[in-house]
Amino acid sequence: MSQTLEAIAQQREASEKKAQLIYAFNGSGKTRLSRELKERVSPETEEDPTKILYYNAFTEDLFFWDNDSSIPRIQPNDFTTLVLQDLGQDQNAMAHFQRCTNEKLTPEFDHTRIDPTDRDEGYSVDPFTGVKFSYQRGNEEPERSIKISKGEESNFIWSVFYSIIEQAVFILNEPEAENRETDKFDHLEYVFIDDPVSSLDDNHLIELAVNIAELIKSSESDLKFIITTHSPLFYNVLYNELGLKKNGKKEGCYLLESLEDGTFDLDIKYGDSNQSFSYHLYLKQTIKDAIDTNQVERYHFTLLRNLYEKTASFLGYPRWSELLPDDNREAYYNRVIQFTNHNTLSNETVAQPSSPEKNTLGILFNHLINNYSYWREGEPS
């Protein structure tokens, strides 16, 4: 049923779900929905403390480049100043950024005031937090004040925002308000995250989804989370990590669509993206590309297992392992399990696959595609 974004925002606000997960193609209204919810929950004209934290395209407005010095600066607001300066979380933001990009690419925060005559017209609030980036090259002098790429810039902005969410969850987990480190988060009700994945490869995307899910599950307060994404893989990992497939929780998943008449449709989705967004075709192509370019990594075994599970479910097999080659089924099963253990999604406890292990992925992928009618009779509907 077609609706306005305002009506959809009202429904999301009324939901009692701890986490709501929304899939939408780019241009379908994800960012506009976050703005509508923000205006409902915490309008700009309201004098009360902020009730919603949101990450979307507008979040980047807090960051601007000083082109003369190649230094990005952060315009202060209640939360960036609190987390980066008062609570000293700039090191955590740095660590998050390096996990998303390169461990040698190091941001250095400079919490100093800027002479108003030295900054661009239109920025009138002091102080600014400046950030310098350098490459750490062992014992050599680091390369300082480098200009990072647009993708790295987006990752940096997300890393700052993620540090703010972490602190909000940690502080609000103290049930007694008078015992909290700060009262700045006391009125916070919602966290809205809109597509933090645009600049991430699949490996980092999976890790990010796991980290967000763990953060949400660690929240013991009444704080609610709404996450929108255009990425089937990001959606699928969050769906499974948050346990949304469990009875009583499955109505936390939705598909947002923009209609030709300017209205929108928000449908409840039952099941992961395999069942909702032709995700199996995306898995197939992603694995094939990795094999063809010899760029197989650990997470491709996770994708392969997902593809086997999807096929087994469709064909009525009780266990996906029954689809593995007969000649060495147990060994193949153990190899896939080794690389798809839950813990390997978020840390480095399992080494990168060796050449024989990469070959194993190719063998199992081709076996599945070539030997089961689900794939041999053309693309499944």
Q: Tell me: the pLDDT tens digits for 363-372?
A: 999 999 888 7
Residue 72 buriedness (CB in 10 A; 0-12 / 13-18 / 19+): buried
| Torsional sign, CA 325, 323, 345, 280 | positive
Distance CA 367, CA 374 (A): 12
Q: Euclidean distance between the first and final Cα of the chain, in Å? A: 24
The helix/strand/coil state of 359 is helix
pLDDT digits (tens, 9 = 90+) for 36-45: 988 888 776 6
* CB 244 within 8 Å of CB 19: yes
pTM: 0.65
pLDDT value at residue 30 = 86
pLDDT of residue 117: 44
The domains located in the chain, with CATH, are: 5-51+187-276 (3.40.50), 279-376 (no CATH)
**Which residues contact residue 360 at a Cβ distance below 8 angstroms, ignoring those fewer than 6 apart?**
332, 335
Strands 190-194, 63-66: parallel, antiparallel or unpaired by DSSP? unpaired
Q: How many CB atoms lie within 10 A of CB 65?
A: 14
Strand residues in 24-181 grouped as ranges (E): 52-55, 63-66, 71-74, 105-112, 128-135
When pLDDT is averaged across residues 15-29 and rounded to a whole number, the result is 86
CA geometry: angle at 60 spanning 57 and 63, to 5°? Answer: 170
The Cα 371–Cα 356 span in angstroms is: 22
pLDDT of amino acid 20: 93
pLDDT of residue 291: 92
- Per-residue pLDDT of 88-146, as tens digits, reads 677 777 787 888 777 888 877 775 544 444 444 433 334 456 777 887 766 556 556 67
Helix count and strand count (H, E) for the chain: 13, 10
